[in-house]
């Protein structure tokens, strides 16, 4: 692992698309107005795809998906300095993420954000071009890159 990677928490993210090509986003409980795609840490010795499926189940109550693509690269973002002590014991500068584009194979009624440890207050399907504008500022570059890389999956 590079010195750069060591200061970033290993994480996965999932761009979940429905059959109409819209992207799932959830509004964070701790940051009203901040919408994001499902994401979460990779446990020690856990493969990224395994972590992605686990995170989906933990965050939206289902992992009924088919994997369409894995991001070519790891994507990095920095947390704003005032937030760093609040997350992960201040150990990391931000996150490095492996992203997956996935097609949701279930029904909307199966999505349940009232999980054991809820992260989202609300959720919705949005058009992929609107994704960047819904994200908090420090995640926008990553979301821009993902929209460019996964744009072909926005079509049903």
Q: What SS3 state is found at 88?
A: helix
pLDDT tens, per residue, the chain with 156 residues:
566 668 999 999 999 999 999 999 999 998 899 999 999 999 999 999 999 999 999 999 999 999 999 999 999 999 989 888 888 888 899 999 999 999 999 999 999 999 988 999 999 999 999 999 999 999 999 999 999 999 999 876
Question: Containing H/E element for 66?
Answer: strand 65-70
Domain that holds residue 39: 3-154
How far is Cα 6 from Cα 29, in angstroms, rounded to an integer? Answer: 28
pLDDT given for residue 30 in this prediction: 86
Domain of 147, CATH number, reads 3.90.79.10
Domain count, the chain: 1
pLDDT given for residue 3 in this prediction: 65
């Amino acid at each position: 692992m590079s010195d750069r990677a060591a200061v970033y928490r290993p994480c996965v993210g999932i761009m979940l698309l429905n059959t109409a090509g819209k992207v799932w986003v959830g509004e964070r409980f701790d940051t009203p107005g901040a919408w994001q795609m499902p994401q979460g840490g990779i446990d020690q010795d856990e493969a990224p795809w395994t972590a992605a499926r686990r995170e989906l189940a933990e965050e939206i109550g289902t992992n009924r998906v088919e994997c369409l693509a894995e991001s070519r690269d790891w994507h990095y973002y920095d947390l704003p300095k005032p937030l760093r002590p609040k997350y992960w014991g201040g150990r990391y500068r931000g996150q490095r993420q492996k992203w997956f584009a996935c097609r949701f194979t279930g029904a909307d009624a199966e999505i349940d954000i009232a999980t054991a440890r809820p992260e989202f207050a609300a959720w919705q399907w949005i058009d992929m071009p609107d994704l960047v504008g819904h994200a908090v500022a420090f995640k926008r570059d990553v979301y821009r890159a993902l929209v460019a890389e996964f744009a072909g999956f926005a079509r049903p």
